[in-house]
Structure 1
Amino acid sequence: MAAIFDPDDLRAMAKSAVGLSNRQAACAHIIDELKRKHPGHIRDDIPWLFNNSGGAMGEMKILHFSLSEYLLLYGTPIGTGGHSGRYRTQLWDFVFDGEMWSYEEGELERTVFEPGGVSYLGKGRVKGWGVPHAAFMLEYARGPVVTMLPFGLADSAFSTVDMPTLAKQLWYASRLTIGELLKGKV
């Protein structure tokens, strides 16, 4: 089975949540739209989990995880920033609340992504990024997403040494991947 998510559709879904009454309503709206468009491939029963990667701390709600794609809600109510990671995948962040800043090596000015904006990280690229105050986004990765796990889990394993969070992340990602494999989704 090929990729089931389309970045243009995801952007429209995230954009449709901009300006809703609060973050909880925006997240619920996005999840409802995803479940309607992709029945059987969106899980909304997984709790929000802390995530430490590239020096940044936020929280995520995993909605889909397979060998070739992941989709999650990610954000922070207090701000953060760090290294994007360099991957063999493509990565999109669809901002629906707050502001995300980024810059690439050699850039002396930041790019600002406001609600409705999309930050794209191509294969083999890297960015510095930050959330000055608070931001939430729909994050989508396409490609060999398991190759992203060392970066995504290293801070929890070796910096914060937060083994309960690390175990939960691995448990949910594994559980969702097996569920998608049983549906024929790689």
Structure 2
Amino acid sequence: MRTLTYLGAFVALFSALFYYLDSQLDSFYIFSPQQLHSLAIDAIEAHGNDTASVVSYIAKDLHEKLPLHINLDEEWVFNNAGGAMGAMYIIHASITEYLIIFGTAIGTEGHTGRHTADDYFHILRGTQLAYTPGPNSYEPEIYPQGSVHHLRRGDVKQYKMDEACFALEYARGWIPPMLGFGYADTFSSTLDFWTLWRTTAVTGREMVRNLWLGKL
């Protein structure tokens, strides 16, 4: 009986803390979707379809503004999630935000996942298609270069990149619960534990570093 009482008290305290922190999420962010969209447009206007230069432009600009929170090392790793496969470069990872370059040179398709964060997909090259089922949903959503696909927290879609497509992907909300989706395909399909280790090492290092700097 005493154990149940303690458990109930813990759950109540944890829930209260979570709802309080959730209501304060905006105070933890150091990026904004509007800022990142403007930066993506500037990079595209400066370099067009030279994606390597677009990525370098974005990373260097962010580093000038937030030098302590930006990873300039392009440590590209494969990413398998929701049946889709691509590669990513982690620019920033913390408890409440991540910023990556994600994409593929040959196309892919999969499930977005249902997440605890809002996800903003700033298309740097190519086109992304998306689909949500419904009684009047018979045409794809189309996101060309320079546009933003906003997947709201808790929503889910099918998405596809027919050919080469790269994006600046920004998530804001609770990031740790999203990691399970990113890891699941390793255990159910690819068994690529080396990539899992590299992803965990880079993500963990950046999260710990940002926590050390006081960035939740």
1:82 aligns with 2:110: yes
TM score, norm. by length of structure 1: 0.97
The answer as to whether partners of 1:15 and 1:115 remain within 8 angstroms in 2 is: no
Which of 12, 32, 38 is residue 6 of structure 1 equivalent to?
32
Partner residue, 1:185: 215
Greater length-normalized contact order (CA 8 Å, ≥ 6 residues apart): 1
Deviation at 1:46, TM superposition (A): 4.3
The structure with the greater share of residues assigned to strand is 1
Q: Aligned partners of 2:86, 2:114: CA distance in 1, in Å?
A: 19
1:39 aligns with 2:67: yes
Return structure 1 stretches of 4+ with deviation > 6 angstroms. Answer: none
Pair member with larger Rg = 2
Secondary structure of the structure 1 residue equivalent to 2:79: strand
Partner residue, 2:175: 145
Q: Aligned partners of 1:7, 1:140: CA distance in 2, in Å?
A: 8
Q: Aligned partners of 2:142, 2:66: CA distance in 1, in Å?
A: 30
1:16 aligns with 2:42: yes
TM score, norm. by length of structure 2: 0.83
* Count of aligned pairs between the two proteins: 186
| Amino acid corresponding to residue 30 of structure 2 in structure 1 | I
The structure with the greater share of residues assigned to helix is 2
Partner residue, 2:83: 55
Partner residue, 1:72: 100
Ranges in structure 1 where 5+ consecutive residues have no aligned partner: none
Query: Percent of aligned pairs with the same residue?
Result: 38
User: Aligned-residue CA RMSD in angstroms?
Assistant: 1.1
Residues 35-44 or 159-168, more deviating: 35-44
Secondary structure of the structure 1 residue equivalent to 2:59: helix
Q: Aligned partners of 1:144, 1:105: CA distance in 2, in Å?
A: 26
Ranges in structure 2 where 5+ consecutive residues have no aligned partner: 1-26
| Amino acid corresponding to residue 16 of structure 1 in structure 2 | D
Deviation at 1:158, TM superposition (A): 2.0
